[in-house]
Amino acid sequence: MQKNLIEKIKESLGSVIPVAAIVFILMLSIVPVSGEMFFMFFIGTVMLVVGIGLFTLGADTSMIIIGEEIGAKLVKLKKIWLILPVCFIIGVLVTVAEPDLKVLADQTPIVDSQVMIWAVGIGVGIFLALAFLRIFLQIKISILFVILYALVFVFACSPLISSSFIPTAFDSGGVTTGPITVPFIMALGLGLSSIRGDKTSEEDSFGLVAMCSIGPILTVLILGAMSNTDIPQQTLEPIGEYSLVSEVFGKFVHTLPHYMKDVAMAILPIVAFFVLFNAVSLKLDKKTLIKIYVGLVFTYIGLVLFLTGANVGFMPIGQYLGESLAGGYSWILIPIGMVIGYFIVSAEPAVHVLKQQVETITEGRISARALGMSLAIGVACSVGIAMLRVITGISILWFLIPGYTFALIISFLVPPIFTSVAFDAGGVASGPLTATFLLPLAMGASTAAGGNMAEDAFGIVAMVAMTPLLTIQLLGLISKFRSAPKTAAIEGQVFPVILDANCDTVVILDKREGV
């Protein structure tokens, strides 16, 4: 366990340090800050490194096992009337206490935060049940995405919806799939599909996260249609100033119990459901149960440290950088945002889970490195576009509609597993750091630029969730092209060959030998 923890800490260190280094350079050069704020960001960075390490170790030994066991058992029951309501309950339970969702709900002024949280939870529950039904009926996921996103955009363009609701609605789909939800739902999908063991079970292992991202968009748009009012101009609270290092420590100490409570409320419903389900149906052995419970403790501690570090150490700095850069260097926001976006995705806890799951299930045919690079490029582009929106005030629909249209078109051309992974990755990439650093960065910049925060700043999470759909599916197209049958001449004879997905292996198909 100690060796695994050290490895996880090293991985998280490599993920967080590039982002922290960029911010430190900015604070030491064009956006100077007080020594206390500098120290606050440093403490937040340390907490992120330790928190991600503990979280990923805990998720590997608890959340993933719980999800796989429950998913596999549900399929064995073969009772749709029982499975669908259970999926709905799971979706609601893992969503209403998701820390990412609470961060967004507290920052947006469109509706009461609790109303938004429960509406989003219900949306996830409905679409998680729908996602299982798709697996059971073996409906092609690209066809379902076309239908559902067509419905979303028709609704979003309706005159019933205020333009102020649209960015937040798409943001809600991104933050829903956070560090609690993703490991559990991805493992649930693996359990639901693996029991079939047919040729489509691998690609059906993914796609649940993507389906769960659509439900919240529709429910928040429905809230917008029901209210049918414009959102008043929102202003940010000034960033607190600290004159002593002890005050910085005091801020972390004061905030820590708050996130201890929030994370406990997020994990307890899942634990309670697992304990009940295990007592009634699973009946796992004592050794496995101990491993799961120890993993849950690591998950809890890691997520508390991560969220405290992100919210206390990163959120104020993000807002301050946004205000300072937009006030004097507005166009530099675009390249700086792209660089930060490129590295920040690697620091998201759920991204580590996704990369590991994909590489394991595909037996290395989709490597974690290639997936990570595709995500990083996608998020870099999305943050650059988001900063362009902050500066110019361009409607988010001018980017979302063409982007999703292209993503849905190429979904019919790439191997199905790339489509499922790409749409899952969109939700996974938009995690806690996006909500606690990039969103405040955009909000601060929008305030300094004199824009409409609800329309210009919100939507950055939606952009981060969209671009991986393009980059990962383009990776699938490249893989498909490179793995197309080719020929090779050996000793004067021509044989067909196939390159694997990473183009590392050549398989010679010699019919004479039956290979």
Tell whether 281 and 181 lie within a shared domain: yes
| DSSP result, 318-361 | HHHHHHHHHHH-GGGHHHHHHHHHHHHGGG-HHHHHHHHHHHHH
Q: What is the 3-state secondary structure (H, E, C) of 390-435?
A: HHHCCCCHHHHHHHHHHHHHHCCCCCHHHHHHHHHHHHHHCCHHHH
The residues near 140 (Cβ < 8 Å, ≥ 6 apart) are 416
Tell whether 456 and 510 lie within a shared domain: no
pLDDT at position 511:
46
Crossing angle of helices 165-175 and 460-482, rounded to 10°: 60
Task: Evaluate whether 175 touches 452 at the Cβ level (below 8 Å).
Answer: no
Tell whether 229 and 99 lie within a shared domain: yes
Tell whether 379 and 440 lie within a shared domain: yes
Measured CA to CA, the distance from residue 156 to residue 154 in angstroms comes to 6
pLDDT in tens, the chain (515 residues): 677 788 888 877 877 888 888 888 888 888 888 888 888 899 998 998 898 888 888 887 887 788 878 877 877 777 778 888 888 988 888 787 676 677 777 777 667 777 888 888 899 999 989 988 887 787 888 888 999 999 999 988 888 887 778 888 888 888 777 667 777 777 777 776 665 555 555 666 677 888 888 999 998 888 888 875 555 555 555 565 666 677 788 888 898 998 898 888 878 888 888 899 889 888 888 898 999 999 999 989 988 998 898 888 888 888 888 888 887 777 888 998 898 888 888 777 678 777 877 777 677 777 788 888 888 898 899 899 989 998 888 888 899 999 999 999 998 888 888 888 888 887 777 766 777 788 888 888 888 877 778 788 888 888 888 888 888 888 888 877 776 555 555 555 554 544 444 444 444 444 444 44
Measured CA to CA, the distance from residue 393 to residue 498 in angstroms comes to 49
Tell whether 496 and 457 lie within a shared domain: no
Please list the residues that pair with 506 across neighbouring strands. Answer: 499
Contacts 24+ apart (CB under 8 A), 502-510: 502/364, 502/365, 502/367, 502/370
Structural domain containing residue 337: 2-482
Tell whether 353 and 426 lie within a shared domain: yes
Tell whether 351 and 429 lie within a shared domain: yes
Domain count, the chain: 2
In the chain, count of helices (H) and strands (E)?
A: 23, 3
Tell whether 131 and 192 lie within a shared domain: yes
pLDDT at position 406:
93
Tell whether 511 and 466 lie within a shared domain: no
Taking phi over 0 as left and psi of -120 to 50 as alpha, with beta for the rest, 331 belongs to alpha
Tell whether 391 and 348 lie within a shared domain: yes
pLDDT at position 405:
93
Residues across the chain: 515
Task: Evaluate whether 186 touches 209 at the Cβ level (below 8 Å).
Answer: yes
Tell whether 365 and 448 lie within a shared domain: yes
pTM beyond cutoff 0.85:
no
Given the structure tokens 């691998």, which residue do they identify?
202
Buried b (16+ CB within 10 A) or exposed e, 331-369: eebbebbbebbbbbbbbbbbbbbbbbbbbebbeebbbbe
Tell whether 87 and 203 lie within a shared domain: yes
